[in-house]
Amino acid sequence: MSTLDCQLGTSAAALDSADLERVYRSLRLIRRAEEEVARIYPSDKIKSPVHLSIGQEAVSVGVCDVLRHDDVVAPTYRGHAAFLAKGGSLRGLFAELYGRATGVTGGKGGSMHLIDMSQNVLGASAVVGTTIPVALGYALALKRMKTDRVAVTFFGDGATEEGVFTESLNFAALHKLPVLFVCENNYYAIHTPITRRWATGWLCERVQTYGMPAYQVEDGNIFRLRALASEAIERMRSGHGPAFIECRTYRWREHVGPNEDFDQGYRAHDDLHPWLEDDQVQRVGGMISGERRSEIDSEIELAIRDAVAFAEASPSPHTDTLYTNVFAGR
């Protein structure tokens, strides 16, 4: 455990049964929606590359569960989890993946460019690290408007190697901006492990030198992450400035696409075992009654079926819209 580790509890003690059901519903929705994406993908109906978060859901859910509706999140191209955890439209997501006009970007952006401003989900981007300064700028605006709203930016371990990451840390700390930096450390940038990219694993220590609290959740424990996020966000709302959380996690599928990739040789199937055994979706599901879990699961299946049917029945974008919402004209 890192010396910077905050000693907040790992139990679900602070959550009542309604909280547990809400957290489970969110985790399970993301898991099942992405499993459905993986199932449909080989049919070629989905017209977009997909970076799945299966195995990583707890990061988005643990943080978004303690946000208010008017807080904003900036996801990445591996963004289905943050998008759905913040309340992004399930129908809009599937329609977007199908490239349909009813998708959240009118079928033009695909999986990597999700946005739903009705839920305060800022647009995602395929370019590593680029949504970090977007969240930072939003946090600057929130501060200038003298609100107590906060911005959260999710990004991978690879994004911490982009210069804009440290520039953003510095600016946020200097100006005490209400932004929570959440690093989803899944140990890999595509196929390259952090052990071949970082001289030390002391990410929290590096971040702390910029002048903000930095915490690590070493085992992906959703309750610990949720407690840390809650404390950090409350500090931010009262003007104490940014915070950073590194949450260790593990990507169960390939970097991009619906399959497993343990035959590729860059990582071993054994590395997955501890994460499978401590699957946070099952863990939280096991804390609520079987009867309620079945009801929630059935509602989720219906919602996913509805979203897929909505996508399949939706029209493709009209050619007239080809040049709308782009910077360059004809």
Ligand X SMILES: Cc1ncc(C[n+]2csc(CCOP(=O)(O)OP(=O)(O)O)c2C)c(N)n1
Instruction: List interacting residues with ligand X (CB under 6 A).
Output: 78, 126-128, 156-159, 186, 188-190, 255
Size of the site for Mg ion (CB under 5 A): 4
Out of ligand X, Mg ion, none, what residue 235 binds, judged by CB under 5 to 8 A for its kind, is none
Cβ neighbours for 289, distance < 8 A, ≥ 6 positions apart: none
Considering the complex, state which of residue 110 and residue 156 has its C-beta at the smaller distance from Mg ion. 156
- Residue 196 Cβ vs ligand X, minimum distance, rounded to whole Å: 13
Q: Is 195 exposed, middle or buried (0-12, 13-18, 19+ CB in 10 A)?
A: exposed
Give, to the nearest 10 degrees, the angle between helix 222-237 and helix 17-40: 110
Cβ neighbours for 310, distance < 8 A, ≥ 6 positions apart: 91, 94, 95, 102
Q: Does 241 bind Mg ion (CB under 5 A)?
A: no
Q: Does 157 bind Mg ion (CB under 5 A)?
A: yes
Considering the complex, state which of residue 98 and residue 188 has its C-beta at the smaller distance from ligand X. 188
- Residue 56 Cβ vs ligand X, minimum distance, rounded to whole Å: 8
Angle at 151 between CA 64 and CA 246, to 5 degrees: 65
How many Cβ atoms from other residues are within 10 Å of residue 6's Cβ? 16
- Residue 286 Cβ vs ligand X, minimum distance, rounded to whole Å: 27
Cα–Cα distance measured from residue 13 to residue 9, given in angstroms and rounded to the nearest whole number: 8
Q: Does 156 bind Mg ion (CB under 5 A)?
A: yes
Out of ligand X, Mg ion, none, what residue 127 binds, judged by CB under 5 to 8 A for its kind, is ligand X
Residue 187 and residue 250 in contact, taking contact as beta carbons nearer than 8 Å: yes
- Residue 239 Cβ vs ligand X, minimum distance, rounded to whole Å: 30
Considering the complex, state which of residue 49 and residue 211 has its C-beta at the smaller distance from ligand X. 49
CB-nearest residue to ligand X:
156
H helix intervals, the chain: 17-40, 57-64, 80-85, 90-97, 131-144, 163-174, 203-208, 222-237, 269-277, 280-285, 290-313
- Residue 119 Cβ vs ligand X, minimum distance, rounded to whole Å: 22
Considering the complex, state which of residue 108 and residue 267 has its C-beta at the smaller distance from ligand X. 267
Half-sphere exposure in the Cβ direction for 314 (13 Å, CA):
26
Considering the complex, state which of residue 76 and residue 280 has its C-beta at the smaller distance from ligand X. 76
Cα–Cα distance measured from residue 260 to residue 240, given in angstroms and rounded to the nearest whole number: 42
Q: Which two tokens stand for residue 289?
A: 């009654």
Considering the complex, state which of residue 55 and residue 285 has its C-beta at the smaller distance from ligand X. 55
User: Interacting stretch for Mg ion, rule CB under 5 A, among 95-103, 148-156, 206-214, 260-268?
Assistant: 148-156
Q: Does 168 bind Mg ion (CB under 5 A)?
A: no
The interface mask with Mg ion, positions 176-195, x = CB under 5 A, is: ----------x-x-------
The residues of the shown chain that bind Mg ion, judged by CB under 5 A, are 156-157, 186, 188
